[in-house]
């Protein structure tokens, strides 16, 4: 079974953070609050602190279950360096890329070099 894991950029400092993704719609009990918005969080999975960090929802990326040649986890949106050039592991094309590389080369030659949200 594949590990369910997400990463996203924190609102407070713009750094990537990995963990369990969840969102919340704040409820105002004492009247209606205009402009309410969903808040998005990543629960820390690395340090064991059980801390939640608010993240930018447009940067949320899910773990693909694969690792590159250095053991780095490959997430949706990661830029992968291959011997044929670089590709993005986006949601629409990722299955095609997986098929192509499983049939032509192994992931021992692929390296994560960035993410589309870093550009």
Give the chain's radius of gyration (CA, Å). 17
pTM: 0.75
Cα atoms in the 13 Å half-sphere on the side-chain side of 68: 17
* More reliable by pLDDT, 7 or 51: 7
Q: Specify the 3-state DSSP secondary structure of 8.
A: strand
Compute the distance between CA of residue 11 and CA of residue 56 in angstroms, rounded to an integer: 6
Kindly tell me if the per-residue pLDDT of 67 is higher than 90: no
Kindly tell me if the per-residue pLDDT of 30 is higher than 60: no
Buried b (16+ CB within 10 A) or exposed e, 92-119: eebeebeeebeeeeebeebbbeebebee
The three-state (H, E, C) secondary structure of 33-94, written as one string: CCCCCCEEEEEECCCCCCCEEEECHHHCEEEEEEECCCCCEEECCEEEEECCEEEECCCCCH
pLDDT at residue 57, rounded to an integer: 92
Sheet containing 111-115: give its strands across.
85-88, 78-82, 111-115
Give residue-wise pLDDT tens across range 68-112. 889 999 898 888 887 777 777 665 455 555 655 565 555 677 889
């Amino acid at each position: 079974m594949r590990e369910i894991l997400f990463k996203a950029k924190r609102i407070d400092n713009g750094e990537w953070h990995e963990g369990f993704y969840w969102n919340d719609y704040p409820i105002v009990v004492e009247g209606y609050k205009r402009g309410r918005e969903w808040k998005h969080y990543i629960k820390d999975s690395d340090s064991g602190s059980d801390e939640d960090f608010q993240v930018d929802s447009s940067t949320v990326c899910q773990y693909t279950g694969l690792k590159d040649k250095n053991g780095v986890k490959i997430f949706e949106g990661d830029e992968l360096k291959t011997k044929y050039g670089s590709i993005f592991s986006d949601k629409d094309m990722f299955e095609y890329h997986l098929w192509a590389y499983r049939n032509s080369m192994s992931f021992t030659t692929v390296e994560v070099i960035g993410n589309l949200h870093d550009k």
